[in-house]
Structure 1
Amino acid sequence: MELLYVFRILNRKKWIIAGAGLLGLLVAFLLTMGNKKLYKSQSQMSTGFTVSEQIKLSEDIFNMSQIDVKFNNVIENITSPKVINLLSYKLILRDLSSQDPFTKVDLKDAKDGSELKSLNMEQAKKIIANKYDSLLLLASNVKQEKAVIELIKAYKYDMESIKKRLFVTRYQRTDYVNIFFSSENPELSAFVVNNLIKEFQRYYDHTKRERSIESMVALDSMVKKRKAELDDKIAAKSRFLQDSVVSTLDPNLVGANKLSQMSMNEAGLADQLSLVSNLTYQLEQINLQLQNLKTDVTTPAAPVNDNQQYFALRKQYNDLYDEYIKNGASDPAVKQRLEDLQTKMKSVAPTGTTTGTTNNNYAASQQSILTQNKIDIEGKLRAAQSKIGFYRSKLGEANSFISSATPKATSKLEQFDKEIEVATLEYTSAKEKQTLAANMSDSGVANFMQTIYGQPALNPEPSKRLMVMALCFFGGLVLASVLFIFLAYLDQSIQTPSQFQRQTDLKLVGTINNINLKATNLKEQITQIESDEANRKNSFRELLRKLRYEIESTGKRIILLTSTEPQQGKTTLTQALAFSLSLSKKRVLIIDTNFCNNDLTAYNDAQPTLEQFSVTDEKLDFASVEKIITPTGVENVDIIGCKGGDYTPSEILPKNHLLKFLPQFLKKYDFIFMEGAPLNGYTDTKELVQYADGVLAIFAATSELKQADKESIKFFGTIKDKFLGAVLNKVDDENLTN
């Protein structure tokens, strides 16, 4: 499809395209006319994924793909139904309890039969508060809760309504997550972005605490199992000493129950070794965190009251935890007290910035916490190492007595010692994992920190109404243009002279525009020329004159007009050419040789005599021929008609038929025109070629070239000496020059 042709199509449909653009503009105007002003608020949260300010309890490798997954998980959790519904519960409770609600809804306007009309507001508030406190969702299959769900939807605080105006995204490739919310109330927007972070943190802490409790239960059972295995090994060694060497030992040793003390010392040594391993690892992590914080703060800030309260609770927790471990970690009351202390520490733990607090102050606060923790751990570490030395000295004394008293049992005792050492390592490893799991619940306290607090917007967001209307206008123009171009692409008809030549590679001797013959007669269209007509505006007549000139210039006088398909305009064009030649004082004879469709005979009321006429002598007698010729009513144009039928010229014409003597007709007529049947379905044209001097092919611009047409076009290549060229008929006026 040529570019110029595309432009012509668009120019032809320009008013429709402009109408489509105006329609889009009108639709945009109507749709945006009722838009209300929206106020946007923004809050920001630091995740701590990329720059951690907490004690690391594992050797994490900084992996960008893992960080991206973590951010995606956080964003998915923030926009999850659980968190959004917690926010909606908080919003509806605030509106139902406040004298100045964000949204005002008149429940009297509810539909008849709706459960909202019979809803008890006090009972509804209790249901919502219970669901909010227990972090549960309302159930639509419970009648009362279903009514509450309808109430939330009436206030447009349901999950779908909130998510339509909520946008949560990571800010570039930083540690921050931005939260945006737009609403008609600036106070509502600020409330949503601030409380969404709080609800997310509450949900996250609850979920993490549940997971930590599950892990602690599993690890408690593992520690108890390892402890029992270690006690069994120590008890086995004690029984061996009693059974094998008690008779040879020092009486003082036996009398003082030294063997029992050895078992206690070995168990105590195992506990202290496990404690030293945990404390050493934690101390290394604290030192690493303090080293990282030196770049953020040079002088530690004085701890505030909250930090002092946190330190006191932390010390209570550490002391109680040590007591819990020493007693076998099986007392449920102590465990419950530990969980309560842990909850209190979370509530008073420094959470980073408050309003007006800077990042440096927060880093200084964290440094103070880490420094105090370091002092506590170093004290515990020194105490544990002192106890290890004491236990080892006692065990060394007892082993020296036993080795000197029973030399033969030394190898057996060494085996027991190795088993006890392995069991001690396993027990130490299990306790270390238990300590890590216990501290995991504290490690996320300050991970998520709100860094920007949403404020009510002073001005509404730009409506961009003019931009939307402009886009709809140009969108309508583009869509309409694309539609017309697409329809033109689907239209495989010839349309233009340039496309015809590109598709057929035939010589084009003329183009004829499309005319409406219903409004006027063909004879009148060509022959009636007004004498007072100053301007030559009849394009059909002018194009015929050009074609007439091309035919006259060839020197051919007996011309066969044919086509590849029917309905191409052969009949009309044959008469039009004859009438046009008559204007230049040329005599023309038309012979209807289209036996499958004798329209020429019918239109001119000609005598159907072609099939019966036969020349008796070798010389044509014009007196006898004049009997079969019918005048057309146009001066100098005559016609010989045919009956037509299911036969070809070779089958119906007599031996000495008229067509053999056409050269003799040229003495009386300047041109002889014959119309042949379409080449695709009939052989008539191929049989008539031998009687013609030239062949003229007629193609309609509204037709499509099929494979059968291409096969017929090849026939014109076999009669190059007689083929005059092609005429493109029925061309739209806009496509004549293309």
Structure 2
Amino acid sequence: MINIPDFLRNVWRNKWLVIFIPFACAVATYFLVKDLPKKYKSSVQLTTGITDRSQEILSGDQLDYFRVSQQFGNIIELMGTKRVLNILSLRLILHDLENPSTAYTQLPEDITKLSQQGLAEVISILKEKQSNNAFITPMDNGKYPLFDWARNMGYDEKSISENLSIYRYGESDFINIDYVSGNPDLSAFAVNTFSKEFIFYYGRVTSNSRRNTSTLLDSILQVKKTIMDEKNAQLRSFKAGSGVLDLTAQSDMLYQQIAEQENRRSQLMGEMQSLRGGIRSIEGKLNSGNFDRGSTIKENNEIIQIGKQLDQANKRYFENNFNPADKRIIDSLQALRTSKISALSRQSPVNTEEVRRGLLKEKSDLEIALARAENSISTINTELGNLRARFGAMMPADAGVQNLERETDLAIKEYTDAMDKYNQAALENSAMLNLAVVESGYPGPPEPSKVVQFTAISWFASLVFILTILLILSLLDHSIKTSDQLATITGKPVIGGVNLIGDSEKDLRVIWDESNLKEDHVFYRDLLRSLRFELNKSLSNGDEKVIGVTSLSEGEGKTFLTSSLAYAFALISKKVLLIGDNYPNLTELISNRQHKENQAFESFLVKKEIKTEDMITVLSKNPDNKSLLEIKDSNSLKAAFEVLKKEFDIIIIDLNSLKSINQVKEWLSFTDKSVAVFEAGREIGARDKEFLNQVDSHEGFLGWIINKVQI
């Protein structure tokens, strides 16, 4: 992830590069483009009629703007096709060859050397290609290099395409065509010729397409009509052969007649049951000889009259198509006759013989009525059989008619759809697009100079390029330059930092001279005081006096920083013992005399004697000793450090780098606090993580000091 502050600092460090390169590119661009030849543009405007309101009237719908955009896109794409550009290419070449005195471009030297016969032959070849709408290809470089000539004159497809612009402005109905060249007459001729040739070409293409479409639709329509006529003829023939004209109506009529006969038979069956019941009742009386009293001839006659009325009511019921009102009359007459018969049967006749004769006559009438009903039932059953046979015979014909009707309906629908498409195509042909030139092209003044635009683009592009390079370098740069980065990567606090001091300026007496106002030295003093304060605060316990100073790698400025800390502590009246490598310059500064050999730390361990200097005492350790514990055992070393703690206020040990981790571990076991020095601008690799864990594990580790920071 990009660190924005670091990136901005990197840009600021390279500010002169960021300023100079875009400026140089802008100046170079200005001198390169200020003498460019002038360009002349000519424009033609075409109208299409696509968005004309009359299109809505013809189609009957609102304009489909997606379809409109598609039509404009198709026209513009067709204008940019190779075939259309080839038409303009041939026209331009022929113009210059036929009119060499007014040629728009300089003719190639090969053409000017041609004889009149050769020139005429070339023109003839080009006109033949024009009539056949053939392309000029590299294969035409035969006797006459036509393709090379077209390219040299700037009339090839690629050159024309680069100079030609075709676009639709907004949602208008117009298409604009622009042509830019170094000759105003060429621009006007090219744009006018292109528009006219394209209108002719587009009309020819669309006419052929519409004509082919109409022919195809007409042939489809004739085929569908033939099929429809065949299906209608088959249907008529089938109906005539099956003896039915309207099968549906006839089948409905038969079904109604069957229902009527069924209802009539049901009525007669009920009447027959009633008559048989009356006959059985009379036979019972005659056989038993028990005649009811009060029976009279008048009552028998009434029963007979009711029977006659019942016959007439049944006849009306059949004639009136089973009217419910007639059915109610029949039911009431049957009920009345039944009640009369029952009442008569309960009466005792005055004259038994007379009653007997009346009963016999009534029985005879009932038997006659029963016989008439049975005969009617037989007639109805015969009629039902005939009707059912006729209805069953119509079923196969009905299925065949239905199949033929479905096929006929489908053929009619297909014919209707084909007719609609044909009519729609005819309507569209009558309302076809008519491209027309609204505004022709004319020679005009040169286009405004683009020197300023090109210069600005060059400056901006080079600026973006250099910033992109710096950004990529920042992304690829994993070096640590700030205390925040160091704290984030190590996971430990950064207790301070000091700026970079050049090798030629590493003189502590000069650096700490308060009259020295050099910026680097002032920063160094202030930062070192801050670091001294943090370390002094960490040694608040009186028994803690030993500070170990290590670094991640060699060459990170640890030794000079350690001696600077010793000098800084001495300035606040601390008796300082500095244990480490040889410090000849520091000893010279402290003793204010010429070079003096430092005391050896190993000798002190043997003799337990040390000669203290004024404020800073230096003990040099032998770099050849790879292990501290090999010199003395742990208890002896602890006793030696106790002696030193009593003698000095603070002891600073300049340890090895963490690359010598075994020596660092041994020294850290005798220190109270420890810090690590890291040089700004270095990276912490994956292999350094183990060393970081080792120094982090020390109980008294205070944190990191970032050294050599660029101010």
Which TM class, normalised by the smaller chain length? Answer: 0.5 to 0.7
What residue is the counterpart of 1:250 in the other structure? Answer: none
After superposition, the C-alpha distances for 1:237-284 in whole angstroms (9 at most, x for unaligned) are 9xxxxxxxxxxxxxxxxxxxxxxxxxxxxxxxxxxxxxxxxxxxxxxx
| Matched-pair contact (CA < 8 Å) for 1:57–1:436 | no
Coordinate RMSD, CA, aligned? 4.9
CA distance, structure 2, for counterparts of residue 621 and residue 236 of structure 1: 136
What residue is the counterpart of 2:565 in the other structure? Answer: 577
| Matched-pair contact (CA < 8 Å) for 2:546–2:651 | yes
Q: Which has the larger radius of gyration?
A: 2
After superposition, the C-alpha distances for 1:416-475 in whole angstroms (9 at most, x for unaligned) are 9x999999999999899778878876653x521222222222x32222322331333244
Letter of the 1:476 partner, please give it.
Answer: S
Alpha-carbon distance, 1:17 to partner: 0.8
| Matched-pair contact (CA < 8 Å) for 1:166–1:180 | yes
Does residue 1:639 correspond to 2:619, yes or no? yes
Change (3 A) 1:636 1:716: closer
What residue is the counterpart of 1:470 in the other structure? Answer: 456
CA distance, structure 2, for counterparts of residue 712 and residue 153 of structure 1: 71
Change (3 A) 1:553 1:115: farther
What residue is the counterpart of 2:163 in the other structure? Answer: 165
CA distance, structure 1, for counterparts of residue 418 and residue 709 of structure 2: 93
CA distance, structure 2, for counterparts of residue 549 and residue 152 of structure 1: 85
CA distance, structure 1, for counterparts of residue 229 and residue 513 of structure 2: 133
Letter of the 1:732 partner, please give it.
Answer: Q
Q: Could you say what secondary structure the match of 1:691 adopts?
A: coil
Aligned residues: 532
1:257-336 equivalent positions in 2, closer than 5 A: none
Does residue 1:726 correspond to 2:704, yes or no? yes
| Matched-pair contact (CA < 8 Å) for 2:599–2:619 | no
After superposition, the C-alpha distances for 1:569-603 in whole angstroms (9 at most, x for unaligned) are 323322333355566676543334xxxxx788999
Alpha-carbon distance, 1:561 to partner: 0.5
What residue is the counterpart of 2:681 in the other structure? Answer: 702
CA distance, structure 1, for counterparts of residue 688 and residue 443 of structure 2: 75
Change (3 A) 1:47 1:442: same
CA distance, structure 2, for counterparts of residue 696 and residue 224 of structure 1: 102
| Matched-pair contact (CA < 8 Å) for 2:26–2:458 | yes
Q: Could you say what secondary structure the match of 1:120 adopts?
A: helix
CA distance, structure 2, for counterparts of residue 439 and residue 165 of structure 1: 39
Change (3 A) 1:528 1:232: closer
Alpha-carbon distance, 1:73 to partner: 0.9
- Percent identity over paired residues: 28
* Larger CA deviation: 225-234 vs 558-567: 225-234
Letter of the 1:559 partner, please give it.
Answer: I
What residue is the counterpart of 2:579 in the other structure? Answer: 591
Q: Paired residue for 1:547, among 516, 523, 531?
A: 531
Alpha-carbon distance, 1:668 to partner: 4.2
What residue is the counterpart of 2:29 in the other structure? Answer: 28
Q: Paired residue for 1:561, among 549, 555, 579?
A: 549
Change (3 A) 1:529 1:157: closer
Letter of the 1:639 partner, please give it.
Answer: L
Q: Paired residue for 1:662, among 622, 633, 641?
A: 641
| Matched-pair contact (CA < 8 Å) for 2:678–2:706 | yes
What residue is the counterpart of 1:242 in the other structure? Answer: none
Letter of the 1:103 partner, please give it.
Answer: Y
Alpha-carbon distance, 1:701 to partner: 1.3
Change (3 A) 1:447 1:493: same
Q: Could you say what secondary structure the match of 2:674 adopts?
A: strand
| Matched-pair contact (CA < 8 Å) for 1:565–1:709 | no
TM-score, reference length from structure 1:
0.60
- Name the one with the larger helix percent: 2
What residue is the counterpart of 2:279 in the other structure? Answer: none
Q: Paired residue for 2:206, among 208, 216, 226?
A: 208
| Matched-pair contact (CA < 8 Å) for 2:582–2:620 | no
What residue is the counterpart of 2:509 in the other structure? Answer: 527
CA distance, structure 1, for counterparts of residue 115 and residue 565 of structure 2: 87
Letter of the 1:69 partner, please give it.
Answer: Q
What residue is the counterpart of 2:317 in the other structure? Answer: none
Letter of the 2:563 partner, please give it.
Answer: Q
CA distance, structure 1, for counterparts of residue 99 and residue 14 of structure 2: 61
CA distance, structure 2, for counterparts of residue 603 and residue 486 of structure 1: 44
Change (3 A) 1:702 1:612: same
Letter of the 1:84 partner, please give it.
Answer: L
CA distance, structure 1, for counterparts of residue 15 and residue 475 of structure 2: 18
1:681-720 equivalent positions in 2, closer than 5 A: 682-706=661-685
Letter of the 1:160 partner, please give it.
Answer: K
| Matched-pair contact (CA < 8 Å) for 1:107–1:116 | no
Change (3 A) 1:580 1:101: farther
Change (3 A) 1:682 1:715: closer
| Matched-pair contact (CA < 8 Å) for 1:614–1:654 | no
CA distance, structure 2, for counterparts of residue 506 and residue 574 of structure 1: 20
1:435-446 equivalent positions in 2, closer than 5 A: 444=432
Change (3 A) 1:464 1:138: closer
CA distance, structure 1, for counterparts of residue 199 and residue 479 of structure 2: 68
CA distance, structure 1, for counterparts of residue 61 and residue 582 of structure 2: 94
Change (3 A) 1:19 1:653: farther
CA distance, structure 2, for counterparts of residue 490 and residue 234 of structure 1: 85
Q: Could you say what secondary structure the match of 2:105 adopts?
A: coil
Change (3 A) 1:56 1:123: farther
CA distance, structure 2, for counterparts of residue 217 and residue 84 of structure 1: 31
Q: Could you say what secondary structure the match of 1:132 adopts?
A: helix
Structure 2 residue runs of 5 or longer lacking an equivalent are: 236-403, 588-595
Q: Paired residue for 1:500, among 458, 465, 486?
A: 486
| Matched-pair contact (CA < 8 Å) for 1:39–1:460 | yes
What residue is the counterpart of 1:456 in the other structure? Answer: 443
What residue is the counterpart of 1:334 in the other structure? Answer: none
1:212-231 equivalent positions in 2, closer than 5 A: 212=210, 214-215=212-213, 218=216
| Matched-pair contact (CA < 8 Å) for 1:611–1:653 | no
| Matched-pair contact (CA < 8 Å) for 1:47–1:176 | yes
CA distance, structure 2, for counterparts of residue 452 and residue 178 of structure 1: 9
Change (3 A) 1:442 1:606: farther
* Larger CA deviation: 125-134 vs 95-104: 95-104
Change (3 A) 1:649 1:484: same
What residue is the counterpart of 1:515 in the other structure? Answer: 501
| Matched-pair contact (CA < 8 Å) for 1:578–1:637 | no
What residue is the counterpart of 2:335 in the other structure? Answer: none
Q: Could you say what secondary structure the match of 1:24 adopts?
A: helix
Change (3 A) 1:231 1:621: closer
CA distance, structure 1, for counterparts of residue 10 and residue 409 of structure 2: 93
Q: Could you say what secondary structure the match of 2:661 adopts?
A: coil
| Matched-pair contact (CA < 8 Å) for 1:591–1:672 | yes
TM-score, reference length from structure 2:
0.62
CA distance, structure 2, for counterparts of residue 178 and residue 26 of structure 1: 36
CA distance, structure 2, for counterparts of residue 639 and residue 439 of structure 1: 111
What residue is the counterpart of 1:43 in the other structure? Answer: 44
What residue is the counterpart of 1:191 in the other structure? Answer: 189
Change (3 A) 1:180 1:186: same
* Larger CA deviation: 546-555 vs 461-470: 546-555
1:58-97 equivalent positions in 2, closer than 5 A: 62-97=63-98
Change (3 A) 1:234 1:551: closer
Alpha-carbon distance, 1:161 to partner: 1.1
Q: Could you say what secondary structure the match of 1:41 adopts?
A: strand
Alpha-carbon distance, 1:191 to partner: 2.1
